[in-house]
Chains A and B, each alone.
Chain A
Amino acid sequence: MSADSTQAGSSPLQRVMETREVELNMGPQHPATHGVYRALVKLDGERVEALESIIGYLHRGLEKWVEYRTWGQATPIFDRLDYVGAILNCHGYVGAVEKLLGVEVPKKAQYIRVVLDELQRLANHLLWLGTHALDVGAQSMLFYGIREREPILDLFEAMLGQRLLQNAYPIGGVRFDFPKGWVPVCRRLLDELPKKVDDYEGLLTGNRIWVQRTKGVGVISAKDAIALSLSGPTLRGSGVNFDVRKAMPYSSYGDFEFEIPLGTNGDVFDRYLCRVREMRQSIRIIKQALDGMPEGELKGKVSKIIRPPVGEAYYTVEAAKGQLGYYIVSDGGEKPWRVHVKSPSFVNLQGIETMCRGGLIADVVAVIGSLDIVLGEVDR
């Protein structure tokens, strides 16, 4: 105070009218930060001058932990990274180990994986849509999002026994075939869901308040987005066509016809549109996979004790948040020597400073929502 008063002169009016930079902590207990994320924001009035991300509140040392477990015991641990998209995490890890082992996953298992992956992506995007809309002020969207996510979780429960942290895939394939009556229920859901997505778009896409809150907010150019290694809808919102499912097809994604929705401006609205349109594509992929489901084995030839050859592998999948990569190193033993997770949330969060600088404090919330971060994956 004393330093300010010397600068601003002595008159009380001057003291009232002066402006100065304010440092504001958002989080780690802020409801709109989607977890224990803390943003240290420097404000000039309502303008964001600088934003520093402070993370690590949820660091559990999972990469260390798996070094003390066998290769097979590590699969459930990685479900805990992105706990609303657990199947995709599991897929990335088992895919990496299969790559190092040289195991060929049977076609049927690959198709089942595609179905479950895309259902998980739908569940993730529905929850994201609800919470993101809630952050921006559209409360009813949350109820719809949760309502539609519920039957998907029920499908997981019916097939895998769990709703959220399913431990879906063992190394080498899948555990179960679809149970009796599962596929018709799934198909019915897929028939209903596009109408629901239309409803959401009707609620939000043309909504004036929504457009005002999101268009031109949190802009990041394609060049910056690539330089910052962003991925997933966050990158595609800026118009960069990079989707691991197309660029490096894994698990038979090459067999299916689907499009990659792209944005143009790289703002919150485009990222929102990308995700919503991705939901339609996911539905399309699941239908194709169910139609073309091949017959065959559920699991490739994997010995009970898994000892990958000495060496390293890097395997990436398109998780709900973006490119999820696993870098695994084996010393030929039963336990991983090193597992590193390139988590999309962690890397995407780097872009938040570029997106928020110069914007309003209220838009920080919209930007965090549009990044679709899960702090379990950011901090690992």
Chain B
Amino acid sequence: MKYIELKNLKKDYKTGNNVFSALKDVNLTLNKGTFTIIKGASGSGKSTLLNLVSGIDTPTSGEIIINGTAIQKLNGEQLAKWRGAEIGIVFQFFQLMPTLTVLENVILPMEFVKKMPRSQHKERAMILLNKLNIAALANKYPHTLSGGEKQRVAIARALANEPNLLIADEPTGNLDSANKAIIHETFKQLNLDGKTILYVTHEQEFPDTYTQVVNIADGILTNIVKKEMEVQHV
């Protein structure tokens, strides 16, 4: 079942009189429930691709259809609503609210999106924290946590509004090996639970339960490697 469709996607950046093409005519289709790794070197265009899919950035041309919604047609406010309902984003640098506790960081998106009654927010947040094995940290502030713990809080926050799609931008880029393993395990589990995952990395190590690895270089998708299948050239 098609979940994400990228059609002839282009993204150009202007710097002075120069135009830099970050993405060049990208076409990609991802099914629901898949775990896609987008892999590429620094400056390859992987983060640009992720920003376009998450509606953080707008394409120069082309279409992005996610779950039937052409998101390039949405305005800023519609995008914010759509993001709240459809996706959860995990950043490399965690980006937690420093003056909110772990529990409050997870509750905050629920209050913005209002998908569920306020009375259920705490319960839902605790379920997520339990699932990620950080319930004991619920009342702690971000600055007291380790990197791995912070990233798990960020994942819990991304899951707060039960999104269909989880987007992770170098989620282990700032972690040591032990914490990397924990985060990999977390993503594995989330995919097994049915979440569609788009996982951007430049590292060689990533969760081994992926569906496919999309390689990107100089704004072009070079190939798609499906797990235990042959390389598909694009």
Partners in one complex: no
Residues in A lying within 8 Å of B, measured CB to CB: none
Residues in B lying within 8 Å of A, measured CB to CB: none
